[in-house]
Structure 1
Amino acid sequence: MLTTRLPLQVEPYRLAANGERLEGLVPLERFARLAAEAGEQSGVVEVRLDFAIDAQGRRVIDGWLSAELQLPCRRCLVPMAQRVESQFLLGMVSSDALAAELPSTHEPVLVENEQLNLLSMLEDELLLSLPQVIYHDEAQCRVSRDQLTSGEASEVEETSAVSPFEVLRTLKDKS
């Protein structure tokens, strides 16, 4: 297992020119936006970043990350372990205009003053990797299917079976 801590800021153009790889761990506690979205997390995210210059001369980051997160079940809101993994290909750009020129296979990453904030970039990738909806198995969830339905549903179905024009028909018959 990796034990190296990744730096928070890097010079990505230099790393790409040298074809370097960064591998290491980042504590999940460092990701404030992730905590706001999915709750406080503990543990680490494993990261591998390959910096390179592709055949078209673009500076790219071919990356992978993996983390064990505690995400709330959408039924009972009790956190449950969920492995999140992501593979991504980022094209380094210095402006929005250059980002628009990237092929669809690349996601843009903005490099300002020849510095890249790895923490922010990795947090973006983690947030994009979160599952839309997560549930316990029904047998393990504290909320049963019966608790999720109310008795009102059957009443709504009965009243919707009556034609909405029935009221107009009775008014017409009265005249």
Structure 2
Amino acid sequence: MSITRIPHTVEPYRLAAVAEHLEGTVPLEKMPRLSEAVGEQQGECAVRLQFGVDEQAQRYIRGALEARVVLECQRCLQPLPVDISADFLLGLSVGDSQAAHLPKRYDPVIVENDQLDLWSVVEEELLLDLPQVAFHPEGECPVSQEQLQSGDEIETHNPFSVLNTLKSKN
């Protein structure tokens, strides 16, 4: 099944039983945790999802996503477009105890009431693949390496020097 917009919620166990394939997009502006982490975003996240059942009867979702997010450069504080690409393999489980027993190759995803919020899953995977820090490449950043370094030696201040002064007056 090929669609242009990934559905917000699905019945993942049913989709896994029939080895369903979903391909489409999720709007970045509908991802509240992403907006909270890196600011408001525009555009879409392209997503491919393959539902299935492995040889041990474990239901899973194999996925891939691609998106362009705009982060803030940590040097110049200007917008910095960053391309994110990620592959993931999720094991479906109904609770934490079942999730703890998943084979190590799977990252757990908890399914409540036979429903799964796919947009939330995609958002989580996107958040996990954001870079820790974002910088423009050396030659493209308005702030040069020399501007980031101080030429003066930093004087260390002893917070107890006032007490020493008071002591010496007596």
Could you say what secondary structure the match of 2:87 adopts? strand
Matches of 1:3 and 1:131, distance apart in 2: 29
Bigger radius of gyration = 1
Aligned length: 155
Unaligned stretches of 5+ residues in structure 2: 157-170
Secondary structure (helix, strand or coil) at the match of 1:102 reads coil
Matched residue, 2:163: none
Q: Residue by residue, what CA displacement relative to the aligned partner does 1:77-127 show, whole Å, maximum 9, x if unpaired?
A: 211111101100000001100111012211000100000001111110000
- Percent sequence identity over matched residues? 51
State yes or no: 1:99 paired with 2:107: no
Question: Over aligned residue pairs, what C-alpha RMSD do you find?
Answer: 1.6
Q: Secondary structure at the match of 1:120?
A: helix
Q: Does 1:66 align with 2:66?
A: yes
Question: In structure 1, what is the Cα distance between the partners aligned to 2:82 and 2:139?
Answer: 18
* Large movers: runs of 4+ above 4 Å: none
Pair 1:18 & 2:18 matched? yes
- Any idea what SS the aligned residue of 1:139 has? helix
Aligned to 1:32: 32
Output the amino acid matched with 1:104.
K
C-alpha deviation, 1:146, in angstroms: 2.2
Aligned to 1:87: 87
Mapped pair 1:143 → 2:139: no
Determine the structure 2 residue equivalent to 1:77: 77
Structure 2 CA distance, aligned partners of 1:43 and 1:24?
13
Report the TM-score, using the length of structure 2 for normalisation: 0.86
The TM-score, its normalising length taken from structure 1, stands at: 0.84
The Cα shift of 1:150 comes to: 2.1
Query: How far apart are the structure 1 equivalents of 2:3 and 2:108?
Result: 28
Find the residue that maps to 2:6 and give its secondary structure.
Answer: coil
Give SS of 1:97's match. helix
